[in-house]
């Protein structure tokens, strides 16, 4: 495979481009709900570019900071940095470009964003270190990803009413909940390496109960947003669809049977964001 093909593929794999489906639709949901219509093309384009830059920066930093841990973990040893598919210099340059894109996009949105842009970056830098010290890293990850709809909301309106925070909190506990499932992939490795997670601290059953509680709270918070904004039946169908998909996700795996964990984590959560976005789009465009 030629370098002109292999290098872009390596960078796409580095940032797990397919996982963009988790957060980007919720940024659009924030943009739709804050004005209760489809925003301008200008706002949508720059929100998209800000998300692309921010997420690429977050993933690049995560891979740089965790490179040595990834090299020791059989599940992650084939990632780009441990496997030598990309050099540290290449990933640092990639992060610099992603940061530049994020900054340019921020300065094309509401002026208040020019003061708020460091907040997500701080979250990106801190997150990879947390599993070395605390099992609360899942909550931090959720909070950082929950900034996506909040950021889109303030980027368009310059305001942050409680409904924006409730939407962000819904995303935060949703992400944190399925990250508890994700931590089960590495539980044994984390124990050996002295790393922290809910699965390490409270066991497999503790991770399951934590995910159930967080995902129940997701539905409650989405309901609060609907009540606060006086949204119609299409939005509520979307909330019902999220609740049904979360219930299905939890039916796929049990503490004693993790064979379908990949389907629960990747497939169902991707569906949740896309399906809910479709209902919100229908609600606000009608």
* Res. 95: pLDDT tops 80: yes
* Res. 248: pLDDT tops 80: yes
Q: What is the pLDDT of residue 8?
A: 80
In terms of pTM, does the model score above 0.75? yes
Q: 64 or 264, which is more confident?
A: 64
Q: Quick check: 280 and 235 in contact, CB under 8 A?
A: yes
Q: What is the pLDDT of residue 165?
A: 98
* Res. 3: pLDDT tops 70: no
Q: List phi, psi (to 5°) of 257.
A: -145, 100
Q: Is 226 helix (H, G, I), strand (E, B) or coil?
A: helix
- Domain of 88, in residue numbers: 3-285
In the chain, pLDDT over 90 holds for what percent of residues?
83
Q: What is the pLDDT of residue 62?
A: 95
CB-based contacts of 236, cutoff 8 Å, min separation 6: 226
* Res. 4: pLDDT tops 60: no
Q: What is the pLDDT of residue 78?
A: 93
Number of domains in the chain: 1
Q: Encode pLDDT of 32-89 as tens digits.
A: 999 999 999 999 999 999 999 999 999 999 999 999 999 999 999 999 999 999 999 9
Cα torsion angle, 122, 126, 127, 128, sign: positive
* Res. 107: pLDDT tops 90: yes
Least confident span in 69-83, 161-175, 264-278: 264-278
In the chain, pLDDT over 70 holds for what percent of residues?
98
What is the rounded CA–CA span in Å between residue 270 and residue 25? 10
* Res. 125: pLDDT tops 80: yes
Q: DSSP string of 59-96?
A: HHHHHHHTHHHHHH-TTTTTSTTTTTSS-HHHHHHHHH
What is the rounded CA–CA span in Å between residue 260 and residue 32? 34
* Res. 263: pLDDT tops 80: no
What is the rounded CA–CA span in Å between residue 144 and residue 111? 21
- For 19, which DSSP code? G
The pLDDT of 249-274, averaged and rounded, is 84
* Res. 101: pLDDT tops 80: yes
Q: What is the pLDDT of residue 240?
A: 98
Q: Where are the alpha helices (DSSP H) in the chain?
A: 3-14, 20-35, 41-65, 67-72, 88-106, 113-116, 118-130, 137-145, 147-157, 162-183, 187-193, 198-229, 233-252, 261-262, 269-285
Residue from 64, 168, 56, 46 nearest 113 by CA: 46
Q: 2 or 227, which is more confident?
A: 227
Q: DSSP string of 175-194?
A: HHHHHHHHHGGGHHHHHHHT
What is the rounded CA–CA span in Å between residue 200 and residue 180? 10
Residue labelled with tokens 């640092």: 92
**From residue 79, how far is each of 20, 167, 177 by CA, in Å?**
18, 33, 24
Give the containing element (helix H, strand E) for 41.
helix 41-65
What is the rounded CA–CA span in Å between residue 130 and residue 134? 6
Q: Is 109 helix (H, G, I), strand (E, B) or coil?
A: coil
The pLDDT of 5-29, averaged and rounded, is 81
Q: What is the pLDDT of residue 140?
A: 96
The enclosing domain of 102 has a CATH number of 1.10.357.140
The most distant pair of C-alpha atoms in the chain lies apart, rounded to whole Å, by: 54
Q: How confident is the model at residue 14 (pLDDT cuts 50, 70, 90)?
A: confident
The pLDDT of 143-168, averaged and rounded, is 96
Q: How confident is the model at residue 219 (pLDDT cuts 50, 70, 90)?
A: very high
Q: Residue 194 — left, alpha, or beta (φ > 0 → left; ψ -120 to 50 → alpha)?
A: left
Beta bridge partners of 257: 254
């Amino acid at each position: 495979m030629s370098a002109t093909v292999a290098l872009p593929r390596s960078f796409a794999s580095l940032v797990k481009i397919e996982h963009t489906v988790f957060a980007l639709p919720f940024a659009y949901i924030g943009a739709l709900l804050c004005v209760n219509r489809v925003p301008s093309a200008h706002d949508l384009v720059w929100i998209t570019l800000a998300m692309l830059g921010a997420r690429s920066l977050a993933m690049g930093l995560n891979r740089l900071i965790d490179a040595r841990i990834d090299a020791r973990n059989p599940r992650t040893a084939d990632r780009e940095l441990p496997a030598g598919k990309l050099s540290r210099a290449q990933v640092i340059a990639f992060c610099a470009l992603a940061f530049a894109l994020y900054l340019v996009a921020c300065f094309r949105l509401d002026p208040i964003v020019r003061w708020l842009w460091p907040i997500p970056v701080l979250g990106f830098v801190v997150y990879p270190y947390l599993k070395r010290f605390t099992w609360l890293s899942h909550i931090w990850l959720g909070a950082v990803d929950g900034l996506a709809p909040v950021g889109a909301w303030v980027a368009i309106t310059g305001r942050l009413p409680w409904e924006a925070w409730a939407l962000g909190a819904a995303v935060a506990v949703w992400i944190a909940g399925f990250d508890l499932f994700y931590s089960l992939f590495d539980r044994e490795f984390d124990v050996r390496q002295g790393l922290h997670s809910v699965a390490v601290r409270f066991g497999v059953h503790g991770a399951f109960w934590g995910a159930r509680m967080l995902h129940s709270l997701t539905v409650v918070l989405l309901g609060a947003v609907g009540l606060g904004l006086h949204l119609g039946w299409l939005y509520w169908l979307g909330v019902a669809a999220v609740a049904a998909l979360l219930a299905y996700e939890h039916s796929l795996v049990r503490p004693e049977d993790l064979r379908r964990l990949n389907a629960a984590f990747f497939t169902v959560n991707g569906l949740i964001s896309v399906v809910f976005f479709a209902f919100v789009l229908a609600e606000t465009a009608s």
